[in-house]
Every structure is written in C-alpha cells, then in structure tokens.
Amino acid sequence: MSYKFIEHMADVKFFAEAKTLEKLFEECAMAMFKVMTEGTILKNKIFKNINVHGKTNEELLYNFLEEFIFLLDSENFMANKIDNLKINNNTIEAKISGDYANNYNFSNSVKAVTFNEMKIKHNKDVWNTTCILDV
C-alpha cells in the first residue's frame, strides 16, 4: 500500500494505509522520513534496534514516530529504513538503519508528531490512519 500527503494550513498531514498494522507503521515512518530529510536519500551505514511501548495503537504509533525525532535530536541519527518491525502486546521491536544527519545537507523541519486527527482504523483487510506532523 502507501502514503499520500494531504494539504494542511500550517503542518504536514498524510494519510497511510496497508494490509497489516506493522506495514501501516512502516508507511507512516517512511512518510515522516521523507519530510525530515526533504527527500534526500541517505546511506544505511548505522544499524540500531528500537523498542517502543504504547497503551493504544495510536499511542504506539505516536511513540514510534517520536522515537525517530528523539534519535535525530539526541544522537544525530537519521533513520532511513526499517526491517523486521514486529508489534506484540502494544510493543514495537524493529531494526532500523540510517546515517548521521550531519553527513547530509537538509534541515529537519519536524518538531513533533501530534495526536490531532490520529485514529487508526481497520476495515476488512486494510489498516489506515491520518497523521499530522508539527513543522
């Protein structure tokens, strides 16, 4: 499946859909990476494991996306790829890869993820959500 950007007055808004919850989370991360890197293609030189918790699917997605902002702010690490993402008992475990942001020429315009309009839905065989990023 995929994601698409939707016009928003002040922030960045996107809609994502996928056949599984794990793929939905990956699509949301890919949309955010595109915004954060301004489309710059990063090399996958650094590998990390992440572990994120949330009480609801929405909180889990919020915490998952915020983890990438935290890694950029605290470690100068910009993720570019997600492998082996697994969701179990409201916990995400994933292997991610990327590179140090200062090796590239872009400015991170994403300040935060918001809960505004975030609602994860499952209809038949498709998961979807809308996300708004504070830029």
Domain definitions of the chain by residue range: 2-134
Please list, in sequence order, all residues whose beta carbon lies within 8 angstroms of the beta carbon of residue 59, skipping any fewer than 6 positions away.
none
Is the C-alpha dihedral spanning 108, 112, 113, 114 positive or negative?
Answer: negative
The mean predicted confidence, pLDDT, of the chain is: 93
Structure tokens at 54: 């949330």
Pick the CATH number of 2-134 from 3.30.870.10, 3.55.10.10, 3.40.50.300, 3.30.300.30: 3.55.10.10
**The model's pTM:** 0.93
Predicted confidence (pLDDT) at residue 69 exceeds the cutoff of 80: yes
Please list, in sequence order, all residues whose beta carbon lies within 8 angstroms of the beta carbon of residue 117, skipping any fewer than 6 positions away.
13, 130, 131, 132
Predicted confidence (pLDDT) at residue 99 exceeds the cutoff of 60: yes
Structure tokens at 84: 């082996």
* Rounded average pLDDT over 120-131: 95
